């Protein structure tokens, strides 16, 4: 990869210890090219990327997903925000636990697992989707109680794998 280098992450970072710093146009504009991001810069930049993702959407998609974002952050305030596979995602201790995306005729909640939604079949029966995504209308956010169940199921799944 041209312009990439391995750099150590700050002490206390919960990753593999070494990550790639890649040339990025946004960082070039800021004049901090090829310098690894600190944990604080990374979190602020990721939240900014989600802000940009939401700003590019038309209403009511923007406000519906903004409410979902607020709900996720109210349930898990220490979650890190970022973009994963081009969509907003939330991670805890390096594991992606939730995400969302906007499409032409629906919005999706993404637990980043194929077993969370089938495991909550009774709670999600009023929604369409796949094993890995829950589709909901563009003008109605998911209820906080359902988001809480989805997050708990995913967190329990991640915790079981880490044992």
Long-range contacts made by residues 39-44, C-beta under 8 angstroms, separation at least 24? 39/9, 39/10, 39/12, 39/13, 43/80, 43/81
- Residue-wise pLDDT for 39-58, tens only, equals 433 444 578 999 999 999 99
Q: Give the pLDDT confidence score for residue 127 in this predicted structure.
A: 96
What tokens does 89 get? 């995602």
Cα separation, 154 vs 98, whole angstroms:
8
In this prediction, residues 103-111 reach a mean pLDDT of: 96
Of the candidates 118, 138, 124, 72, the one whose C-alpha atom is nearest the C-alpha of residue 99 is: 72
User: Which of the pair, 10 or 56, is modelled with greater confidence?
Assistant: 56
Q: Give the pLDDT confidence score for residue 72 in this predicted structure.
A: 97
pLDDT over 60 at 110, yes or no: yes
- Residue-wise pLDDT for 62-102, tens only, equals 999 999 999 999 999 999 999 988 999 999 999 999 999 99
- Global pTM reads 0.72
Tell me the domains of the chain and their CATH numbers: 1-37 (no CATH), 49-162 (3.90.1150.200)
What tokens does 55 get? 């700003």
Cα separation, 82 vs 96, whole angstroms:
10
Write the DSSP string, 4-69. Answer: -EEEEPPTT--S-SEEEE---HHHHHHT-TT-PPPHHHHHHHHHHHHHHHHHTSPTTHHHHHHHHH
β-bridge partners, 5: 21
Q: Give the pLDDT confidence score for residue 128 in this predicted structure.
A: 96
pLDDT over 90 at 116, yes or no: yes
């Amino acid at each position: 990869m041209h312009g990439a280098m391995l750099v150590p992450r700050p002490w206390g970072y919960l990753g593999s210890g070494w990550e790639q710093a890649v040339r990025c146009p946004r960082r070039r504009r800021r004049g901090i090219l090829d310098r690894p991001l600190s944990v604080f810069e990374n979190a602020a930049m990721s939240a900014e990327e989600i802000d940009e993702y939401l700003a590019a959407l038309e209403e009511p998609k923007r406000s519906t997903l903004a409410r979902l974002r607020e709900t996720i952050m109210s349930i898990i305030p220490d979650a890190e925000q970022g973009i994963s596979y081009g969509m907003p995602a939330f991670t805890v201790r390096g594991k992606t636990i939730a995400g969302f995306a906007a499409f032409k005729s629906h919005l999706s909640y993404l637990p980043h697992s194929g077993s969370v939604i089938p495991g909550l079949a009774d709670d999600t029966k009023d929604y369409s989707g796949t094993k890995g995504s829950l589709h909901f209308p563009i003008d109605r956010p998911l209820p906080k109680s359902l988001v809480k169940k989805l997050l708990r199921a995913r967190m329990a799944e991640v915790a079981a794998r880490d044992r």
